[in-house]
Structure formats: structure tokens, C-alpha cells
Structure 1
């Protein structure tokens, strides 16, 4: 059985091929015309040839979303939001992983010149001059879900991590927790730097000093578990068992900075780190939140699935995804428009890991 063609749709609808093309490409047409064409399309089971359409209009109708780790729940939430927006506009979404190395981020941006997508939405975990330059010179529209310097001349949507950290500290202090530790991911990353700064500013606002600060090697569950024993030891809560916990592949914390006093709460830079810490608190015989309250960041699905359910700062990953996708579609339609820099405000989702 031969595949239905646009000419067959035109005959069935009693209109010209040009009229069918106008309707299928979303160009202005009368309501009657749209109804006749759509009825014929449905009856014949016609599916537009994406390759022919791409050649005709000079577009692939494909967009790329690039994130550091597709396994991180926060990126899954963002991806779903982006896909919802772009699919409604007739685009397919291709998701790719850059990993933690800025060199790979740069290579991906420069590779957009191959023409396999009409635009790029990237969430870079590290930013340097090469990345900024590659974004500025990219041959397709780029939107950044994250923070890059204004000189990049690109649309950005970012979270207000410092305000989110203040919400977490305010909550803990209101519940009587004043000896607060912090487990960050790598501080040389965009989220690591923002959350470190936010933690310091939030404690200062309450005239507090950190009970202990640790920097894990990554924003993963395994890195959180690996950093936790030494964090507990630094905070005077348990002897370090790190030499027994870490296997050959398990990452070790890069920095432990004790500042005095056992802590009664810990804020983690994301939910994966927080759940890793809660595992180690349980292994050390400590109860959450009776002994130590735990707060994560991102408010991912993992926060609700953990035990106990995790209090977490919602940094608006879905909203950031939606806004970034809308900016990318607008940029594709008008590449000369003035770049926008949007900041999505956080909220706090309180669960049983805090009092």
C-alpha cells in the first residue's frame, strides 16, 4: 500500500496542494480550509515528510537540550518542561549529556554548526571564556539555563540560589537549629559557587558561624555518602570512617573545613548529596531530624521518595525549563531581539527531615 501524499490530501480535500501546504505549515488559512485539510489528513492517515519539510523551510524542527548529567532528577524535571513547550510548537527535543568538563561543553556548542538542530538550550555546570566565546559565535540560537556573563549576549534563565539558601537557614533557625553545617558540591561549578556564597550570606544574616563545611567531588549520591563520614567527624558527631567506606570507585571529599562545635543541622547543595548524607547519618546511629535536621536543594522527586521525606529548596527547575524553552522559540523566530536575563525565585518545601 502506497504512502499517502500531499497531492492525495489535496484531492480528498478538494483544494490545491499549496493550500494543504499552508495549513500543514501553520500559515494563515480560513477556518473552512483548515477543517477540510485536517479531515482529509485524518482519513488518509497522512504523515508529513519531515526531511522534505526541513529542506523546504530551512529548518530541522529539532532542538537540543544539553545538561551535565541526564541521571540527575533536577534535569529530568527540566527536560519534561522543555519538551512540553517545544513539542507544542512542532519541534522534537534531543537531549545530550556534556559531563562536568567545560571543554566538552564548548565542543558541543561549536558542533551546532553541523546543522542537526535549529537551536540549543544548554545548562552548563562550568563556565569559562572559551564557553562564552563559543556561545557568542554559535551559528544557531542559544539559550542558557544557568548563569553566564552578560557579555555572552545570550538569553538566560537562572535560579536565585542565594535566596534559596536563606530560606533554608531561616527555617532551621526558626526551628531552633543554630549549629548548621554545609555540604557543597565542587565549588568551581556554577551551582557550587552560588550556593557557597548563599550559605555564607545566610549565616551572616543570623550572626552565625558554620559548624562544618565540606566540598564533595560531585553532585551525586555516591559523593554525598563519601563526604559524610569526614563531615560528621569535623562536626564532632562521629569518628571518621571514611577509610572503610570508600572503595576504589567511590569519590572522596575534596575539602573538609571544621569550624568548631557539633552540628544539629546540615544543608546540602542538592537532593542527591542530602540523601547520601542521610544514609551515613543512619549508619552512624543518628536520627533525622531528632539529632540532625537535613535540607536539600532542587526539590526533586527524590526529596519526596527519601526516608524521611526531605525538606528541600525548590529552585524552580520546571519553571526554568519552560521559560528557557519559550525564550529559545522566540529567539529562533527573531534572532535580533534584545537578550533577556530571567531569574526564577525559590520556595521551600518542608518535609519530615526537619522539625
Structure 2
């Protein structure tokens, strides 16, 4: 049986003192360079802190809670992996919870922290109402938010600049010759739904597109099936032989894939008759046929930064609140090919 790595070995490999290695492992005061060196050494050696000893010594569970709307959504899977990778070297175990779309599920998760089974929470709340805000303010435990929150909510947060992402998508489609650009969204009462709807409208305003020429399709969820149903209904209501758009921006990759199915059901070719852009740039975007152009909102980076903020908050409860913004990029693939010369099929 292989001997278990010790803290002394981790400290020696990282080139720091045992005390410094212990502080870094336990999330106490240590320089970022020391933390990175110790984390890397611990990973290289396979060092695992003794959870029982740490819990007794530190008065902590060394468990963290990660909560999102749908743990089956690829973007949340990517976030979960990033949080785990950022916290596991420090000896934390990650617990995962799915809140659903309704505020009640988010409230349950936040209030459950008071049972003391976790030392902190990383959460991406898809709806934030007054009750959710009150629960966040009242919590006795450290919380880091992935998403947009009100300015007066004194919590660490990391958000994506989805407005810039939508703008990049629209600019790309117009540069490729598309002029009638529709938008398929999830529920608009959610935080991402409203943010991305607002961003689409702003992009249309920037290009002088009249309100009457904007196609808005709201699905009842951010899923493949919901998008296929919603866009399919829209296409079925169009005058035979016509369509009101030559491009679509979708609020996430799952909606874009559902839109692809609806377009194919209607006899339309993605990338030819209709250009399509998703958001999140999950692994599905590259694996799909045709490969999906998608806005990369930095899901893994947002989650990593949120985990780092939570670790810092646990170690330094009185530190100033941090608010970070991760900027997007556009990954161009075959689904948004330039408009064919001579027009498209009507």
C-alpha cells in the first residue's frame, strides 16, 4: 500500500515552511503565490488532509455547497468541476444541489446553510426576488454569487457580461450578411432571461432595427425541448413558404439545439437558410451537427473566481466585498456561415 503523503512533504515540495503550508491548506492568511505553490504540491503528491482532525481543530465541516438551477445543464456541470478543482486541494468536499427555476428552491438552499452542514455556498440564482435577497442578507455563512445581483447586496459575486456577448453575436451575423435576426429566450422573469432579452433589444436598437421587425420567441424553460416547441409553434404560424428571419441568437446552447430541431422540422437548413448562434459555448456546441457558433461567457472562469472569493471570505470574514466581471468571446463555427450569394430559400 502506498504511504500517505504528509504536510511536511507538501511543504518541502512547495518550498515553504510547514506553517505556511498549513495556512494555505486551511484557507488561512497566505500569499496567493504560496497558496498556488502549496495547492500544486498537494495535487502532485496526492495529499489529502485528515478531515476529522481539521474539523476538530478549525471548528469547520470542510464541506461547501454548490447550487444551480439544473445540475444537468452542461454549463453548470462545467461550473461544478471548476469549483471542485479550486477547492479540493484545500481539503474541501463539494455538495451539489439543484434549485429549479422557482425562487422557493433557491430559498430552501440558502436557509439550509443554517443547519451547519457546510462552511459556505457558491450559488447561481436564476431568479432573485425580495425573499431571496432577504435570505441572502440574513445568512450567517459565507456566500459567493455567480450572476448579477443588486448593488446594495453586500456579497461577493462574479458575473458575465452577457450584453457584450449578445452584441458580438449580432455584429457577427450582420457582418455575414444576415439582417433579420430573431432571438429565442428562456423565461423572461429569470435573471438571465431578462438580461439577455434586454441585451438583444439594445443590439437591435444600435442597428436601427424597428420593433416590428424583431422576432422574439420565449420558451418556458432553457431546454432543448422547450425551444423546439416554442420555435416550432412560431414557424407553424408563419405564412406558407416564408419565414420572418434569416438568423437566430439563442440565450443558451440548449435553446440553440432545440431551435435547430425546429428549423429542420420546418425544412430549413441551419447555416444556410438560417444562421444560428448560441450562448455558453458548452461542449455540445462543438459536438453538434452543424457545429454551433456560440458566445463563450467564461463559465469555468466565473466558477473558479467565485470559489476563490468564497475561500477568501471564509479566511477573512471582514474583507471588502469583491465584484468581478468576466468578459465574453465568440467562437465561430459552421452554424453561422455567411449568407449564400443569391439569397436563401423562401
Same fold (TM over 0.5): yes
Counterpart of 2:109?
A: 108
Counterpart of 1:205?
A: 206
SS in 2 for 1:151: coil
SS in 2 for 1:148: coil
On the 8 A contact 1:212/1:231 being kept in 2, the answer is no
CA–CA separation in structure 2 for the residues paired with 1:24 and 1:205:
54
1:219 aligns with 2:201: no
Counterpart of 1:250?
A: none
SS in 2 for 1:170: helix
Cα separation, partners in 2 of 1:175 and 1:118, compared to 1, 3 Å: same
On the 8 A contact 2:49/2:91 being kept in 1, the answer is no
Counterpart of 2:272?
A: 290
Q: Deviations over 1:85-125 (max 9, x none)?
A: 11122211111111111111112111101111111000000
On the 8 A contact 1:157/1:342 being kept in 2, the answer is yes
1:195 aligns with 2:200: no
Q: Deviations over 1:147-189 (max 9, x none)?
A: 1112221011011111110000000000110101111100000
Aligned residues: 308
On the 8 A contact 1:212/1:235 being kept in 2, the answer is no
On the 8 A contact 2:295/2:331 being kept in 1, the answer is yes
On the 8 A contact 2:48/2:91 being kept in 1, the answer is no
CA–CA separation in structure 1 for the residues paired with 2:54 and 2:164:
46
- TM-score (ref. length: structure 1): 0.80
On the 8 A contact 2:223/2:254 being kept in 1, the answer is yes
- How far did 1:319 drift? 0.8
Aligned match of 1:331 in 313, 316, 320?
313
Cα separation, partners in 2 of 1:20 and 1:347, compared to 1, 3 Å: closer
**Structure 1 unmatched ranges of 5 or more:** 11-18, 29-37, 240-260
On the 8 A contact 2:121/2:144 being kept in 1, the answer is yes
The equivalences for 1:171-320 within 5 A come to: 171-209=172-210, 210-233=213-236, 236=239, 262-320=244-302
CA–CA separation in structure 2 for the residues paired with 1:133 and 1:169:
37
The equivalences for 1:50-199 within 5 A come to: 50-199=51-200
Q: Please give the root-mean-square deviation of Cα atoms over the aligned residues, in Å.
A: 2.8
CA–CA separation in structure 2 for the residues paired with 1:46 and 1:269:
41
- TM-score (ref. length: structure 2): 0.82
